[in-house]
Structure 1
Amino acid sequence: MAKKKLEKAAKKAIANAREAVDDAAKAVRKLERTSKRRVKKLDAEVAALTKDAARSAKRIDRASRKVERAAAISASAEELARESEDYATGRIAEARSAEAPGPARADPNSVESDVFVEPEIDPPTSPGSAVEPSFRELRDEAKRRSIPGYSRMNKAALVEALGGS
């Protein structure tokens, strides 16, 4: 009888073990589904973050191009200011050297006025150098020659693209 009890207990233990294995398998499947859901959710989040990063990179690229253009414009403005200052200094020096103590009149009854009119004087240039074309002139020439990307070039790039003309 003890043998039958042992067999019965062994069978019951085996049945309980099978049941435990089945429960464990169910739990694993449930965990797999949960894990798969979490993986899908994380994949979606990664995709969204990647998209956001790409958008941010584009914005940064656009902003850096704007900064580069602003720097080029600033450099052109500084150059223009220096040229204007040099031109104005030259004109002032010419005017001072041409100044007379007072206007002389040949005839007191003449109709000439006392207003001094300055003659037209071209801006000073160094001997042997041609007048450098303006940014707009360079851009128009690049457009006429159908140079690709001319609208995004600064003055130095336009000069280089036009062959230093």
Structure 2
Amino acid sequence: QISSYWQEGTPLAINLAPTVDLPAALAQGKARSRKLVSNELATLVPSRLADAWASREADWQRPINEASDKALARLAEQLARWELTPTGTEGYKKAEVTLGGVDTKALSQQTMECKAQPGLYFIGEVVDVTGWLGGYNFQWAWASAYACAQALPLPQAEPAGAAH
């Protein structure tokens, strides 16, 4: 979903432990534990992430009680603000949500009829309405189709015996 908001070339800052006060947790670990930094960190984040992250610096490859306060502060900061810049998206071949389409300002919100061209209607994913993944596009497709169908004029019945 982030590709709907991300601007190409802009770095992303990701908190890898958003529910944890990392500086406090690492300080507590230092005060009470003799485990390796990676093992103590594995109580806060997934163990494979802890192992991979701790292997990035020699200061983090020792028992936590031997690690300097600066090294632990650096670890906490990097885990809380991991920055990366995506090189792009996987494109339309893999896209699940795309932006763009007929501008909603050009349509009646009650009928989905084009304001500039009476009798022309747009519904579903052709309209510039974007939602989160999880079936919202289906809901929009059904709801806009229903609104449109309710507004369509019923065909006039031809008198009995009329020639075609």
TM-score by length of 1: 0.21
Which structure ranks higher in relative contact order (CA pairs < 8 Å, sequence separation ≥ 6)? 2
More helix by share: 1
TM-score by length of 2: 0.21
